[in-house]
Amino acid sequence: MRRDIFKAIADPTRRAIIALIAVQAMTPNAIAEHFDTTRQAVSKHLRILQECELIKAEHQGREIYYQLEIDKMKEVDKWLEQFRKIWETRFSQLDEVLSTLKSSNK
């Protein structure tokens, strides 16, 4: 089952997990230490993130390390880019209005 990426990152715990493993790959136990919840709850979040292909698991001996899938995060960034351009345009327009008002008050 493939889950919706945006539903997955809507959850604050999953966003926090993404932020943690963006810095370095971590085991589920290491991730769980950062949260006031059960190891099973963290495992569920990891499973959802993995189903969305936002993270991947890599086996190293008996340990499993989770790491961020940068390419999937780029898809999210690409989708957000359209809104970023709108915001930047609006901020530029606001800057122009404020500059005009400031000049007229002098």
Measure the CA–CA gap between 71 and 42, rounded to whole angstroms.
23
Query: Quick one: pLDDT at residue 75?
Result: 85
- Quick: pLDDT tens for 25-74: 999 999 999 999 999 999 999 999 999 999 999 999 999 999 999 888 88
- CATH classification number, 1-68, choose in 3.90.180.10, 3.30.420.10, 1.10.10.10, 2.30.30.30: 1.10.10.10
Measure the CA–CA gap between 5 and 49, rounded to whole angstroms.
8
What is the residue-averaged pLDDT of the chain?
A: 91
pTM for the complete prediction?
0.76
Sketch the domain layout of the chain as residue ranges.
Answer: 1-68, 70-106
Measure the CA–CA gap between 76 and 89, rounded to whole angstroms.
21
Residue 9's CB: how many other CB atoms inside 10 A?
Answer: 16
